[in-house]
């Protein structure tokens, strides 16, 4: 039996909320010949978020990164969303490292184009949180601790599994030039479908 009576109220609230905004629109630096542009916003959520297309549209979400061990998505390109799928299980023995660079670069491209992105898994707790943390380490130059703290502040229920945490520390080391000295492994080459 699952018990929720010992969970802090903020964790309960987060688990019952389909998605949370992690990064809001920001003004991107521009060259002297180009006017400044706004980045998109980054959201983190659960499967419930993608079950509510009107909510996604109300937040102007156009790009979805699905991190599930299911080959389907309730939304598709014909619904007006660009999809990027990572089919992995939430298990500490799963190696998430091959997917971090591809997912992070997809998020960065969409945000730089002014698009809003949702990263989701089943509950928005482990897999999708790990991808968002990896993005913050890679493209926002954050440490694992700072990225994890930011994401937890925005979505209190996040808790990447221990295998993902180890992979994220290695990822941080690779981008900070410390740790194992092994750079990020290239992952499967996928792009958003549109």
Cα of 189 vs its chain's centroid, Å: 17
> What whole-number distance in Å separates Cα of residue 78 and Cα of residue 69?
22
Catalytic annotation, pick one of 121, 147, 151, 158: 121
Backbone angles phi, psi at 83, to 5 degrees: -115, 145
| 180 within 8 A of 187, measured Cβ to Cβ | no
Task: Report the alpha-carbon distance of residue 43 to residue 63 in Å, rounded.
Answer: 10
**Contacts for 31 with CB less than 8 Å, ≥ 6 apart:** none
121 is catalytic: yes
Partnered with residue 66 across adjacent β-strands are 85, 120
Q: Tell me how far apart the alpha carbons of residues 127 and 123 are, in angstroms, rounded to a whole number.
A: 9
- DSSP labels for 149-182? HHHHHHSTT----HHHHHHHHHHHHHHHT-TT-P
**Residue numbers annotated as active site:** 121
């Amino acid at each position: 039996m699952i018990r929720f009576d010992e969970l802090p109220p903020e964790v309960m609230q987060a688990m019952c909320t389909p998605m949370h905004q992690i990064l809001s629109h920001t003004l991107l630096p521009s060259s002297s010949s180009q006017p400044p542009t706004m980045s998109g916003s980054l959201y983190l959520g659960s499967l419930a978020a993608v079950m509510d297309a009107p909510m996604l549209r109300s937040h102007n979400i156009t790009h979805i990164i699905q991190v599930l061990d299911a080959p389907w998505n309730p939304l598709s390109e014909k619904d007006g969303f660009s999809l990027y799928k990572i089919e992995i299980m939430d298990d500490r023995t799963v190696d998430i490292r091959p997917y971090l660079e591809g997912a992070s670069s997809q998020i960065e491209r969409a945000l730089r184009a002014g698009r809003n992105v949702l990263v989701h898994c089943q509950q928005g707790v482990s897999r999708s949180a790990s991808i968002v943390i990896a993005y913050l380490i890679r493209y926002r130059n954050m440490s694992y601790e700072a990225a994890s703290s930011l994401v937890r502040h925005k979505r209190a229920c996040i808790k990447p599994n221990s295998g993902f945490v180890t992979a994220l520390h290695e990822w941080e080391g690779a981008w900070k030039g410390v740790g194992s000295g092994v750079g990020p492994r290239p992952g499967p080459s996928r792009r958003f479908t549109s």
